[in-house]
Each structure stands twice: as structure tokens, then as C-alpha cells.
Amino acid sequence: MDEYDVVVVGAGPAGSTAARFAAEKARVLLVDKHREIGSPKRCGEGLTLDAFRDLDIPLDKRFINKKIYGSVVYAPGGGKIEIRYDEPAGYIIERKIFDKFLAAEASRKGVRVLADAYATLNTVNGRIMGVRIRHQGEEREIKAKVVIAADGVESQIARQAGINTALNPRDIDSCFEYEMSDIKIEDPNMIHAYLGNKIAPGGYIWIFPKDDDRANVGVGVCGGERETAKYYLDRFIKSRPDLRGGSILEVNVGCIPVGASLKELVRDNLMVVGDAARQVNPVHAGGVHNAMLAGKLAGTTAAETIDSQDLGILKRYELGWNSSKGKQLERILRIRYFMRKLGDGDMDYLTRVWDGGDLIRVSEGDWGVALKKMAEHPRLLKLLKKFV
Amino acid sequence: MMEIKDCYGCGGCVAVCPHGALTIDDVVERMDEKCIKCRICEHVCPNGLIKIE
Ligand SMILES: Cc1cc2nc3c(=O)[nH]c(=O)nc-3n(C[C@H](O)[C@H](O)[C@H](O)COP(=O)(O)OP(=O)(O)OC[C@H]3O[C@@H](n4cnc5c(N)ncnc54)[C@H](O)[C@@H]3O)c2cc1C
Ligand code: SF4
Ligand code: SF4
């Protein structure tokens, strides 16, 4: 039997970051069920500059496909909101290389990383003893003082510890995406998002350029729609002469937990981070930045716990997250519910009264001036009052 | 009867199943004894791969 201080399940952005910070004061094992870390990718691969800064990640050419200078959001009636910066505000990365880089960084800090290792929680008389892994057909028991569940949207580790992580289907975005090449992109320095109840009910279609003629073209729709995500994406592509002749380099299928963060992030000696803890922005459904922020907080807390041999310290992760980011995600979730109720005409109206700054602030949970600009639309204000 | 064909392993159905009836490694599997056929999982699959009768 192997013994570690901390075992992290899942080597996505949340797990690799948690492992790296935990390793400052603990012996850490990081396992992932896939044979290759980072693959298959389930992502549009957009990441803001802030994420690199917050986590001290280099702007390494090996995982940066394209600099992005802003975004254009299209309403169904032809209205649009554009926000453009002079400097790159974000990047379309290559997740397969990025995720592997984060895992390699963790290993440089002393973490032992193991791919092709499917984990289940190991409990004895209700006590979490560590995990069991199946590595290349062989079962092994791993003893650990702390277990970190970073096992993504499909998380089973937290459930095995008794935390209820089941999502209401309306709090999940069902996604389908193609990486397409040989397409025409109007402005490949920008990301493009298309809204509309017929185009992508409860979500949006995105074009995230990886090159001047190559992009992730995907859709997220609210779980529970009549048609599938694939249906909406294929229909959109067919309707667009700039896309429909393109080649398909990759097919990505995924679901995003957009119901705001779990409240219970720590139980006994188990911590939950990233998509497993539903720590995604409920409006734009980006989750990589938050996953790494949560990973850092959880990893640091785990290191302190091991260092002081006081399990009580683990709860600091939950308290810290819930009182800051967690609260913000709750606010954003209410905005998601508000947006879900908008008609196509309302979306066009908002593109007329809001500017790019308003849109960005709203998607971060801050109504500020955006609210004042809706003053002449009493019905929308009334609707808003129901949610915010 | 429940059929899941050509699953991509995205895990969406696992995340919404209220009864913990689905497990997933590379592809999803259902534990018959736990499933109550509520059909919630059917509605999130991005490619409509789950069919329950
Ligand atoms: C189509 C799509 C597009 C997206 N676009 C963007 C975007 O542009 N920008 C953005 O910021 N976010 C985006 N997201 C969200 C983003 O991908 C996730 O929020 C992010 O990957 C979460 O990181 P994580 O580490 O929590 O989970 P994951 O990256 O999902 O990692 C979890 C890991 O755990 C492993 N695992 C699971 N169970 C086990 C087990 N039992 N044993 C061992 N290993 C296990 C998995 O193999 C996986 O590697 C998108 C999501 C989808 C589906
Ligand atoms: S039908 Fe209901 S209980 Fe059965 S697997 Fe699907 S969500 Fe779970
Ligand atoms: S939602 Fe569909 S593709 Fe995803 S794991 Fe379930 S059956 Fe497979």
C-alpha cells in the first residue's frame, strides 16, 4: 500500500493547481483516469490574461494559439456589442498542452503524477482513508490524510463521500463543439458569441479563433431543451456560408456545471474543487480560471493542514471561497436565470442600450450602470427584480 | 430499457442523475438497481445518446 499526505483525483486545471500548492508542505499524489492528461479536451480554450497573472503562469508559446483583443456579442436581430482593447485581453490556448504543462509544473514541485489511474474513494466505517486506483488493469490502495476531489463535472468522489452534487438540468450547459479549419472568420483577433432563443436556447454559440482560418466553433444550451446541443450547432453551421464548407479537425462533447458553487466544499478530510464543485461562471460558463483559483486556495489550505496536523484547518478553504468567489457566483447565477427569460427582442434592446463594459460587468455579477440604462424598459426591470 | 450508444464520456448525465445510478470511467454505465427511469439524464446528453423506454 502506498501512503501520501494528500491525494488529488483529476489532473485538470483544478487538480494540478491544488497538487502544486499542496506540495509546498506535503507529499502529494495526483491521479487521472485518462491515458493522456489534457485529452480528450472539453473546452473552447478561451482564457483571460487575468488568469495567467493570478496563477503566475507564463505566456508560453507552446500552449498559446492566438492573442485575443476582445469580444463581439451578436443578438438575434442583428444588434451587437463589441468590446475591443489595444492590448491582448486573453488567449485561445491549447488545452491539451496547457493541462499537461500544469501537471508537469506540479511534478516539478515534488508531486507524483500518475495517468491512466481511475480512482474511487476508500472509506472504512465511514472514515475516508484515501482512494483505490486502477492503474493499467491493476488495483491499488492509496492511503492519504487528505483527499482532494478535482474530478470534473462527472465527479463521483464527492458523492462517494456523501456530498450531494447532483445538478438540476437547467443548471448545466450541454455543449457540442467542432474545431474547424478552412473557415472564414470575420475578425480572428476577437472571440464571437451568438445569442438567441432559436440559435442556442439558454446559452450561446461561440467562435473562438485558434488561427486566422481555424477556430473552436461550439454551442452550449441549457440542459433540458427539446433538441440536442449538436442539433443547434449543426443548424447554425449550415446557415453560415463562412463556416459550412470548413473541415472538422476535432469533435468535442461536454457539459458545464453552471449552477454556482457547491456550499459544502469540505467534509471530514475531503475537499472538492473546480467543476466537481461547480465553480464555473454561470453566465459565460468559463471555468478554467476559477478552477485554478479554487485549486490554489484548496492546495495551500491542505499544505497548512498537513504542516500543523490540524484537520480543522481544512474548513478554511470552504469559508474563504464561500465568502468571496462563492458569493459572486451566486449573484451571477441570478443573472443567468434573468437572461434565460429574455426574448429575442429583449436581447436586441440590450445591445442598443449597453456597451461592452456593461456586458462584462454584468457577467461578473455587477449591475452598476447597466441597470440605469435599462430604465426605459419597465418590463425588463420588473423581470430583473424577480431575480436580483 | 435503457440504451446508451457511442457515449463520448462527457459526464453530463452523471452530474444530473439524482439517484447516483450512473458511473463513468471512459464511458458511462448504468446501475439498473438504482435507476428509477426519471429520464432526467436523457435531456442533457449533447448528442441525445441516452434512450429510455
Ligand atoms: C465545450 C466546453 C467549452 C468550454 N469552454 C471554456 C472556455 O473557453 N474557457 C474556460 O475557462 N472554460 C471553458 N469550459 C469549462 C472548462 O473546461 C472547465 O471549467 C474546466 O476544465 C474545469 O477544470 P477542472 O480541473 O475542474 O475539471 P476537468 O478539466 O474536467 O478535469 C477533471 C479531470 O478529472 C479526471 N477524472 C474524473 N474522474 C476521475 C476518477 N474517478 N479518477 C481519476 N481521474 C478522474 C478527468 O479525466 C479529468 O482529467 C468549457 C467546457 C466545455 C464542456
Ligand atoms: S433515468 Fe433518472 S435515475 Fe436513471 S440514470 Fe437517468 S437520471 Fe439516473
Ligand atoms: S451525457 Fe451522453 S455523451 Fe455524455 S457521458 Fe452521458 S451518455 Fe455519454
Render pLDDT for A342-360 as a digit per residue (tens, 0 to 9).
Answer: 999 999 999 999 999 999 8
Q: Render pLDDT for A83-127 as a digit per residue (tens, 0 to 9).
A: 999 999 999 999 999 999 999 999 999 999 999 999 999 999 999
* CATH code, domain with B10: 3.30.70
B50 within some domain: no
pLDDT of residue A366: 87
Decide: A181 and A249 in contact? Cβ < 8 Å.
Answer: yes
Ligand 3 closest atom vs CA B8: 3
Q: Tell me, yes or no, whether A194 and A142 share the same domain.
A: no
Residue A241: pLDDT over 90: yes
Same domain, A98 and A159: yes
Q: How many domains does chain B have?
A: 1
Among B11, B40, B48, beta carbon nearest to A228: B48
Q: Give me the CATH number covering residue A221.
A: 3.30.9.10
Considering the domain architecture, whether residues A158 and A278 belong to the same structural domain is answered as yes
Domain boundary pick from A211, A242, A257: A257
| Residues A44, A183 share a domain | no
Considering the domain architecture, whether residues A378 and A231 belong to the same structural domain is answered as: no
Q: Is residue B36 in some structural domain?
A: yes
Alpha carbon of B11 to ligand 3 centroid (Å): 6
Q: What residue owns the CA closest to ligand 1's atom 46?
A: A10
The reported pLDDT for the residue numbered A371 is 82
Q: What percent of chain A has pLDDT over 70?
A: 100
Tell whether A312 and A245 lie within a shared domain.
no
Q: Show residues of chain A in contact with B39, CB under 8 Å.
A: none
What's the confidence (pLDDT) of residue B1?
Answer: 65
Match 472571440 to its residue by C-alpha cell.
A191
Taking the whole predicted model, whether its pTM rises above 0.90 is answered as: yes
- Does residue A80 lie in a domain region? no
For B26, the domain range is 2-44
Euclidean distance between CA atoms A386 and A135, whole angstroms: 50
Name the band, by pLDDT with cuts 50, 70 and 90, for residue B31: confident
The domain boundary residue, chosen from A220, A237, A257: A257
Both A308 and A355 in a single domain? Answer: no
Q: What does DSSP assign to residue A168?
A: P
Q: Is B7 on the interface with A (CB under 8 A)?
A: no
Q: Do A176 and B47 touch (CB under 8 A)?
A: yes
Print the SS3 string covering A187-239: CCCCEEEECCCCCCCCCEEEEEEEECCEEEEEEEEECCCCCCHHHHHHHHHHC
Residue-number span of the structural domain to which A43 is assigned: 2-68+91-166+259-328
Domain presence at residue A74? no
